[in-house]
Amino acid sequence: MTRLNASQRRGLIGALLLSLLILLIVGLYALWGESWQARVLYAAFVNLIVVIGLQTFMGNANFAVFSHAAFMGIAAYAAAICVTPVAMKAVSLPDAPWGLNAFEMSPLASALVALGITGTLGLLTGLFMSRLTGVGVTIVSIAILVIVHSIFLHRTDIFKGNQALFGIPRIFGLTHVTVLAIVAIFAARLFRESAVGLRLRAAADDEIGARAMGVDVHRARLVAWVVSTLFFAAAGIAYAFFLGTISARPFYFNFVFLTVAMLILGGLRSVSGAVFGTLLITIGLELVRWLETGPTLAGVKLPQMLGLSGLLLGVVIVAVMAFRPHGLMGNREIEDLVLPRKGTS
């Protein structure tokens, strides 16, 4: 095994600290939590995996991309279609073509198939995403989102469109997703400190300079793009394996708004920022959802206010961009708060 360099060792410490934070939250829930909070926590961890995946591309390459919900949806559907028993698929997908309702696989094999399909699509889209510049990346990522969503809606025989695809075995629990989230934190942190991660960050700061130093920018972007789609795939699989029913609606713009706001609040450029942003927005949204239903507060019945949670997300994005463009964490990772960096900063 190759020896890790100094920043990679610091990365491991940082990932360890973040994992402890995650374990602390799960521990608090195990001691005092109520059962409905398990769902909130599960959703938060699925979002966390997505946001960390976003960070690996958006943060390191400094491009805004919005296609992650599409890749998550592809993986969720692929895993769901593979793992659902044939008897159940006869009911839930009676018209599926190509014998999609005539086979079933073990959960592990289904997850691998889903990862494989999503990764392949990531590679194919990455071939042109990595060559685009600036705004083009963002717009084409939105185009990918729209294309995938309209295919989900159109092929109702495979994806059931806006109706639910039901009967997926509920294999995952909070333990699984906690482990997955911790693995994601370590993977993203090691990727950030790896040679490819460093090249990407260099190219994001100064593309001409990085090229002059011999960095193959397109290749580095392609690697990061594919890696990030694998994170989205993992999140999609965890989503399908927990809920037992999926539909096309959650894999669209609202989810994109949510996860992008989480990443921006914490700060694009660090994995710790992704984690903190996800946790803060999750807590904030739980409060706002309660306000949205029109609760009685100190004897006053508040009106029902739909759209308040969306408003909050927008305000968070604009406020962070105006006052702290690099998010709460900026370029710092969690270990920089605890252990001051030696030598050059």
| 288 is an interface residue for another protein by CB under 8 A | no
Nearest-10 Cα torsion for 112, 238, 67, 57 = -80
d(CA 272, CA 274): 5
| 331 is an interface residue for another protein by CB under 8 A | no
Residue from the set 7, 8, 37, 62 that interacts with another protein by CB under 8 A: 62
* Contact string 198-237 vs another protein (x = CB under 8 A): ---------xx-----------------------------
d(CA 335, CA 141): 33
Binding to another protein, residues 289-328 (CB under 8 A):
305-308, 310-311, 313-318, 321-322, 325
d(CA 54, CA 275): 12
The window from 5-13, 144-152, 177-185, 225-233 that contacts another protein (CB under 8 A) reads 144-152
Q: Which amino acid would we find at residue 98?
A: W
| 287 is an interface residue for another protein by CB under 8 A | no
d(CA 94, CA 167): 13
Q: Kindly state the smallest distance separating residue 203's Cβ from another protein, in Å.
A: 12
Residue from the set 109, 143, 302, 338 that interacts with another protein by CB under 8 A: 143
Residues 257 and 308: beta-carbon distance below 8 Å: no
Tokens matching residue 298: 């100190």
Grouping H, G, I as helix, E, B as strand and the rest as coil, residue 325 is coil
Contact residues: another protein, CB under 8 A: 62-64, 127-128, 131-136, 138-140, 142-144, 146-147, 150-151, 153-154, 207-208, 257, 260-261, 264, 268, 305-308, 310-311, 313-318, 321-322, 325
